[in-house]
Amino acid sequence: MSVQKESNVIIDYGDLSVTGGISVFSKEFDKAFYYDGEDLGLTYSLAGSKFRLWAPTSSEAFLMLYEDWNSTSGKKIPMNRDVKGTWTVQIDGDLAGQYYTYLVRIGNQWNEAVDPYAKAVGVNGDRGAIMDLTETHPDRWTSDKPSFVNAVDAIIYELHIRDYTIHAGSGVRNKGKYLGLTEKGTRGTDQIVTGLDHIKDLGVTHVQLLPIYDYATESVDETRLDEPQYNWGYDPKNYNVPEGSYASDPYRPDTRIRELKQMIQTFHDEGIRVVMDVVYNHVYDGYLVNFTKLVPGYYLRYTAEGKFSNGSGCGNDNATERPMMRKFIVDSILHWVQAYHIDGFRFDLMGLMDTDTMNEIRRQLDKIDPSIIMIGEGWNMETELAQEKRANQLQAAEMPRIAHFNDGFRDAVKGDIFVFDKKGFISTGKSFESHVKKGIVAGISYSDEFASFAVEPDQTVNFVECHDNHTLWDKIVLSTEGESDDLRRAMHRLASSMVLTSQGISFIHAGQEYYRTKGGEENSYKSGDEVNQLNWDQAAEHKDGTLFMRQLIKLRKEHPAFRMKDAGAIRNHLFFEEAPEHAVAYSIRDHANGDPEKHLYVLHYAGRTAAEIKLPDLGSWHLLFGEGCVENLCDNMLKVNGIGTVVLACKP
């Protein structure tokens, strides 16, 4: 395949004479042109700037310099062919304040593109920006981080930058911006705590940010921020640069960098680590992305018919298995860690990526900081990659210390997310107990009966709500026709408590603490503020929900028995106990994981009538959590009346 015509776009894959007869689609291409240097992109100094571009199929390459982000003409500077398909040029003098792109000739086609390795860009990311990145540090910028060791100790709180503070009642000045999450002392209706202080008061260990890299102009145009626009940002444009619409001034390349750093520093100063949601599985437009313009045919995955692989549903799966794409992804991850002090990564549609790339990321992160967590959507999805190489739940054993979202637990707790009216455990759905138990033990091979995908508990993320699909509240409403809202809130609290008392990594979605609704909308990726904003008036109305979540998080933190570090410990210390229908009970025994209590007992009860449950004969039980559900407690019997979770401790 030399030229492809599709979707009104022509892609010229180049003249084979340029690469010595080696096709860009072949394995021989990687052997001949893999470049392992650390200097791809721009290396800036006051004395001069060096540029290195990887473009093996180009017969000519030029550096284009521009005075501004929208200059109509630029200076065209020839680049010199160098080793392994790279092109270089050195420009003397201080170029700070200028903008650049690359212009390459591939076959008969001229393509101009942004440097994939650009670390600063102009408005809308259409040109790289040249600057001294050391001058983008905020007034306080340290490498100090909140102490953290094991992934299972993580309590992750997922939020979208704009959603969290844009509401009129947020009390935040810099609404919808990075700086909005640096403000302290903000208050909403009835003087409730909002914004950063709300997150801190919850007690979570990590915030997970929906995409903060520069994403497609078609989603949010940074020159039109006075107009209604909205997007989650799962459409990458420039992987190594912050998104400009969250900055106070997207026209200044340094502002987005400095303000993101300031936000991260503020979280760290408040004892909270930061997880970045990354989308290395696909790009926004496979035809127009800088990868395709610079080395067409290389970075994306193709079918046998020469079409883009479409496992993502976006029509352009990234070929993460190709060495230079893998190198780009690893280099990008390390850039965010080293330049922005990021503490973890959530990999969107991780099942489309390859296991070797994921393991290489883990290996490189461990050299820097083993406490950096890696979690991802390990769904089993079709793509043009051998099944055994896909980084999904089926390959969990091949990817130690990389966690997968536990969709089995999610659906068992609240009901199938794709069958909107289907009930789950919390809403008296039948026969979900065994699936719930698999989640409680973090998806490990606990027994012949209870086994899932995980080898160790740090490979499972338990959750019942995230940005995707209906919120937990909306799902409950859809599956409980005729029920009262009071009963629904009890189901909601039960679901949250099931997450925070289970083994593995805990994950909650912003607003889950006060029954967040999106008005029944399932996929709100571009639905605007009215649907997506965190409604702080609702938070004021349901302060009890926030208090409940704080108590749950405190319980998990105070009892390491809920956070056992290895599968052997879970098998040795956790025992499932007898329980009636619509209930799951278990004990965690013998000071598990150094717990201050010798034994704990947990009951998740979704029944609608009172029930008496026999307690294990381990000593004298007393109540730790769930007082509202308990009608009577004696040494060997617990009577509950109401939907919820009860946690007991035992003094022998």
Residues classed as catalytic: 348, 377
Residue 19 backbone zone (phi > 0: left; psi -120 to 50: alpha; other: beta): alpha
The answer to whether the CB of 415 falls within 8 A of the CB of 475 is: yes
Beta bridge partners of 215: 236
- Return the number of other C-beta atoms located less than 10 Å from residue 313's C-beta: 9
Amino acid at the residue 360: E
d(CA 642, CA 491): 10
Task: Cite the beta strand spans of 216-299 per DSSP E.
Answer: 236-242, 273-278
Collect all residues with Cβ–Cβ distance below 8 Å to 408 and sequence separation of at least 6. 435, 438, 439, 443, 452
Q: What is the largest CA-CA distance in the chain?
A: 85
Q: How far apart are CA 128 and CA 66, in angstroms?
A: 10
DSSP label at residue 559: -
CB 55 within 8 A of CB 295: yes
Residue type at position 435: H
Rounded distance, CA 612 to CA 465, Å? 31
- In three-state secondary structure terms, 516 is coil
Map 3-20 to HEC letters. Answer: EEEECCEEEECCCHHHHC
Handedness of CA 190, 195, 197, 203 (dihedral sign): positive
Q: What is the CA radius of gyration of the chain?
A: 26
Other CB atoms within a 10 A radius of the CB of residue 91 amount to 17
State phi, psi for 457 to the nearest 5 degrees: -65, -25
Beta bridge partners of 613: 638
Instruction: Count CB-CB contacts under 10 A for residue 26.
Output: 12
Q: What angle, rounded to 10 degrees, do the helices at 323-340 and 253-269 form?
A: 70
* Helix or strand (DSSP H, E) at 346: strand 344-347
Six-digit token string for 185 = 């002392």
Burial of 418 (0-12, 13-18, 19+ CB in 10 A): exposed
Residue whose entry in the numeric block shows the structure tokens 């067409």: 296
CA 503/CA 442 separation, integer angstroms: 5
Q: Side-chain half-sphere of 186: how many Cα atoms within 13 Å? A: 27
Q: At what angle do helices 433-440 and 407-414 cross, to 10 degrees?
A: 140
The CA distance from 373 to 342, in Å, is 10
- φ/ψ bin of 319: left (φ > 0), alpha (ψ from -120 to 50), beta (otherwise): beta
What is the C-alpha to C-alpha distance for residues 484 and 43, in angstroms, rounded to an integer? 62
150, 192, 254, 618 from 251: Cα distances, Å: 40, 35, 9, 66
Close Cβ partners of 227 (under 8 Å, ≥ 6 residues apart): none
